[in-house]
Amino acid sequence: MSEHTLHTFKECFVYKIPPLKNESGHRANDWDVNKWLWSGRLRMAAKGNELTIYLEDSETGLLFAACPVREPGTGPTSVETVTDSSRYYVLRIEDGKGHHQYIGMGFRERPDAYDFSATLADHWKGVRREREAAEISEQIANDASAGPQLDLKLKEGQMLNIHIGEKTRNRTIHRRPSGELAPADALRALAPPPPPPLASPPQVGAAPAPASSASGAPAGALPPALAKLASDEYGDFEAADSDGGRGAGGASDAGGADAAGGADATPG
C-alpha cells in the first residue's frame, strides 16, 4: 500500500519546550516563540489507517523529524494543543528506534492551524467509517451463511405465471387469453335465440289455387256421377224419399248423397 499526502504547509516553526509543569497542559507563553529551533515545511501523509507528520526542509526535502500519529484513545497522545493559543501544538516525535521526544510546533497564520486540525479530524473520521462499514459487511455475511438458503429454482413441471398489463391514461387494459369471449360477446352467447319470423296472414277473399289430383282433375272436384246429383238440388232426394229409401236405385242414391255430403265436408 502506497503512502499519499493529505496536506502540505509551506511554513512551520519548531521549538524546544520545557518539561510539563502540571497536569493542566502545555502553555505557549512558557516558550520563547520568537526563538524557534527550526523552520521548514510540514507534510501530512497517510498509508491505510496510519498517519504521519513529516517535518522537512523547504528546499531539499531533507527529513528533520517524523511524528507517527496514533489514533486517539489507543496510546500516548501524538498531537496535543496548548492551553493558551490556537496556533501552537506539542508533537511526540520518534526516531524509529524506540526513542521519542516532545517538541513545540506552531504556525504563523491561524488558517494554517485550522487546516492542520481539520486534516487530523477528517482522517480519523474516515478510518472509523471504513471500520464500521467493514463490520456491517461482515455481520451481513455471517447472517447469510447462518440462515437457510432459499431455493428459487423451478421444480419439474412447475410453471411460472406472468401477468402483463398495459396502462393507458386512467385505466389498465389486461390482455385476454386466446379463445376467451369478451364480456359483451359472453352475454350475447347466453341470450336465447330470436323467435322465428311470423308467417304472413292470409289475404281475405283470396281463394287458394286449386291443386291437381293424380287423375288430372282439380283437387276437391266431385266425381261425374255425384256432380250430376249435386246439380239437381232437390229432385233426386224427393225421388229417393218416395221410394222409401229402398231398392237398388235408392241405395245407390243414398250412397251418392252420403258420398256427396262427405265430399262437401271440407273446410271452407
Indicate yes or no: pTM above 0.85: no
Query: Contact, 8 vs 41, CB < 8 A?
Result: yes
Q: What is the 3-state secondary structure (H, E, C) of 135-154?
A: HHHHHHHHHHHHCCCCCCCC
Using DSSP's 3-state secondary structure scheme, residue 24 falls into coil
Q: Are 243 and 249 in contact (CB under 8 A)?
A: yes
Q: What is the pLDDT of residue 225?
A: 56
Per-residue tens of pLDDT for the chain, all 268 residues: 799 999 999 999 999 999 888 888 899 999 989 999 999 999 999 998 999 999 999 999 999 999 999 998 888 899 999 999 999 999 999 988 889 999 999 999 999 999 999 999 999 999 999 989 988 988 888 877 776 666 677 777 777 777 776 655 555 555 556 555 556 565 565 566 667 666 555 555 555 555 554 455 555 555 665 555 555 554 554 554 445 444 444 444 444 444 444 444 444 4
In order of 29, 47, 57, 181, the CA distances from 193 in angstroms are 114, 91, 109, 18
Read off the pLDDT of residues 229-251 as tens digits, 9 standing for 90 and up: 555 554 554 554 445 444 444 44
**Hey, is 229 helix, strand or coil?**
helix
Phi-psi region of 174 (alpha: psi -120 to 50; beta: other; left: phi over 0): beta
Minimal CA–CA distance to 16: which of 85, 124, 84, 106?
106
* DSSP at 259: H
What pLDDT sits at residue 170?
54
